[in-house]
Structure 1
């Protein structure tokens, strides 16, 4: 009897991937993806047993950690009862999942429209805003990512929008980013004030009567983990109210514990009209997303048909995974852990890295949502070249850490269940890798 070695399994996995799998955001010929065979908590491994601290949370979505038994068990138990059912039916698991999301969002949210993920959550939030207001335009920032479908990718501000600009009615503006201010600001308060002035001028110039929604990530994630300065989100809410515009907050990446709160906006004296969510709501164990809808917007469709739907909206396995994840996060204090570990362990350790390494221009974040911005020169703040980031990623993986890299940044985004010891281990790896790159 022939047995397959662990090394052979890794090679077979790579061979199958190269031959049959088409990867996103990539030129296919040069890809050499890492093999992941299993995981537990904050650690993943390949077939050969090489273990890695997952400080990427994959795509910043495995908030509860890998293979949490409560979530796995919830999916298994639901599969044994009812694996799928159409969205037009009433299903107990679906209702319970929606109830839990509404409870954590708080007033004035009353309903949840379930989607397959974050991008189509954005699509449907935009649709609701347009139908509710009878207007068309959507304002969003240049430093943003909202997903890879029609309106979501055009709402996105980064380079991925440009080859995909097929949707109508989208306008972009600059949000606050004090380290690289577009507004010549020298304090967070000034950055907030000037960014709000800029936004109001864009609203006025575009014609308020034609603007359906302002769409913002509560904390821009892929764009750099840009914590809003004091008063900014509240100021956007005030502008939306002034001009009768719907405020959509994208909590796909920032929500469900990532910032040490259930929703990131809950730390910023603001309540949106619609919340787009996905990722952390069930840590990606089953594809799911959704829109939490305020009572006012929900009422728009009491006697009017909402012209949208998805075959898998509120899929029972996804709903069960939401219940399992949110209940475990609450009972085990996982959101509180994210807040504490960010304040007591990650933040101070990253500040020390910044002091020691000239490559580090700035560190910023909260909870388990942090960015290390890398610069070639601290005085000019010139970003490091892409090759430097590539080398740093290689050094990190060699030392047993999975990084999340974007532009000239390494994002420090472990699962919310990360421990102080794992943070300390990761910081040693970041330190060693930065030293190696600086010497090179």
Structure 2
């Protein structure tokens, strides 16, 4: 190990307290630099980043236009409080609103995706005068007080300090909660389930339905045709605000500016973070429908953050959106997903019994791994750990969640880089096939 890699590991173990981890056994990969879809350690060993870190580096590492935008802003004004007007902040908000549907003209900036969802919940409650928020069990919305309780996975359970949250099962045909055998059945029954839960909770008590347009960490489950439009109809019927969480799925990840652009649905509030500037500076926010924004024309919005609309973050958004537009990055993500990633993953599915299902869109895919295709028994955690280690040994940084490998490279990934990753996946899946045969 290079001296700087060793020094990084030594200091990290001694002083850094890491998220979602037992600290004692951690041994993390030191990363010194990156460019595009590649990162490297201090010794110069390179890794192809097919995790996009936390599925956020959509524009790739060290994009020159974004770095230049941050530098130029830092030279002019490195920070300013939110209770001021700032041109860069206003330009960032304008660019985001321009990609939203008609009737969305205001953006509230936050420090990331969790507090974006937190503030969207606050807006929905204040706008409706109601309290409850309905979200799915298979979801992740962030690690702040309300967002973590809106989350459905295990991380909610030790953190249930927020009031008024109700959970439902969303559509997931591969492991249907509704005994469905077709997408149509799954859609119809999932919508019936949602409607009955709202009725049972009392529609007059429900402020919002909060959904990831395409659940990400929970498994990249593309909703069946008609589901999101059906949710919209239910929300309208009961006067409920529809919040679509685009934190992971937005800004190119699905080959669209917003993932919901591919569906027949228009939300009331849109949350974003991650891909809006690829995480170069921490930022997130809420895109607010004009109707909800008008609620606060003559009423104080009781929320704010010291770094809301931070100029360095705003500059990174402006540069990132402009580069995505001028370089055709959104269209590229869609095309490489259709033409390269999906055919490659389907070929792996045909060759490897350990793959139970392939699903996704754009540069947002999951391989669900099983010990037995007939029973769909999830691949054990020990074998998922082996898969991760074997992929890293082959120079590929994977995103592993439960019994899934998420194939989530930056939107700028090339066909050659996808081919390199597919070779690594193929080799590791071959090892896993032998383990379960």
Structure 1 match to 2:134: 139
Equivalent residue pairs, number? 435
3-state SS in 1 of match to 2:195:
helix
What does 1:200-239 align with in structure 2 at a 5 Å threshold?
A: 200-239=195-234
Give the deviation of 1:190 after TM superposition. 1.1
Choose the corresponding residue for 2:159, options 155, 161, 164. Answer: 164
Shift of 1:435: 1.0
1:360 corresponds to 2:355: yes
Structure-1 separation of matches of 2:193 and 2:152: 16
Partner of residue 46 from structure 2, selected from 47, 51, 57: 51
Query: Are positions 1:403 and 2:398 aligned together?
Result: yes
1:123 to 118, 136, 141: 118
Tell me the secondary structure at the aligned position of residue 313 of structure 2: helix
3-state SS of the aligned residue for 1:307?
A: coil
Q: Secondary structure at the match of 1:326?
A: helix
Is 1:434 the counterpart of 2:432? The answer is no
Q: 69, 76, 79: which one pairs with 2:74?
A: 79
Match of 1:316 in 2: 311
Q: Distance in 2 between matches of 1:91 and 1:380?
A: 57
User: Does the alignment pair 1:179 with 2:174?
Assistant: yes
1:337 match: 332
Counterpart in the other structure of 1:378: 373
Determine the C-alpha separation between the residues in 1 that align with 2:428 and 2:377.
Answer: 20
Q: TM-score, normalised by structure 2?
A: 0.99
Q: Is the 8 A contact 1:361 1:373 kept in 2?
A: yes
Helix, strand or coil at the partner of 1:248:
strand
Alignment partner of 2:59 out of 56, 59, 64: 64
RMSD: 0.6
Counterpart for residue 267 of structure 1: 262
Question: Contact 2:101/2:266 (CA < 8 Å) preserved in 1?
Answer: no
Quote how far apart the aligned CAs of 1:189 are: 1.2
* Residue 316 (structure 1) shift: 0.2
**What's the offset of the Cα at 1:131?**
0.2
* Alpha-carbon distance in structure 2 between the residues aligned to 1:143 and 1:437: 26
Q: 1:23 aligns with which of 15, 18, 25?
A: 18
Q: If the length of structure 1 is used for normalisation, what is the TM-score?
A: 0.98
- Aligned equivalent of 1:105: 100
| 1:293-336 residue CA offsets vs partner (Å, 9 max, x unmatched) | 00000000000000000000000000000000000000000000
Tell me, yes or no, if the aligned pair for 1:100 and 1:326 is still in contact at 8 Å.
yes
CA deviations 1:255-309 (Å, max 9, x no partner) are: 0000000000111110000001000000000000000000000000000000000
Unaligned runs of 5+ in 2: none
Displacement of 1:110 after TM fit?
A: 1.1
The separation in 2 between residues aligned to 1:106 and 1:72, in whole angstroms, is 29
Q: Is the 8 A contact 1:395 1:436 kept in 2?
A: no
Deviation at 1:436, TM superposition (A): 2.1
> Does 2:236 match 1:241?
yes
2-side partners of 1:182 and 1:293: how far apart?
33
Aligned partners of 1:367, 1:192: CA distance in 2, in Å?
22
Look up the SS of the partner of 1:99 in the other structure. Answer: helix
Q: Deviations over 1:358-406 (max 9, x none)?
A: 1100000000000000000000000010001000001100001000000
Report the counterpart of residue 302 of structure 1 in structure 2.
Answer: 297
2:408 alignment partner in structure 1: 413
Secondary structure in 1 aligned to 2:161?
coil
Measured after TM superposition, the shift of residue 439 of structure 1 is 2.9
1:13 paired residue number? 8
Aligned with 1:314: secondary structure?
coil
**1:3 aligned residue:** none
CA contact (8 A) 2:168 2:194 kept: yes
Any gaps of 5 or more consecutive residues in structure 1? Answer: 1-5
| Contact 1:63 1:258 (8 Å CA) reproduced | yes
Give the one of 368, 382, 387 matched to 2:382.
Answer: 387
CA distance in 2 between counterparts of 1:107 and 1:172 reads 30
Q: Secondary structure at the match of 1:292?
A: strand
Query: Are 2:354 and 2:432, in contact at CA under 8 Å, matched by a contact in 1?
Result: no
Is the Cα contact below 8 Å between 1:94 and 1:315 reproduced in 2?
A: yes
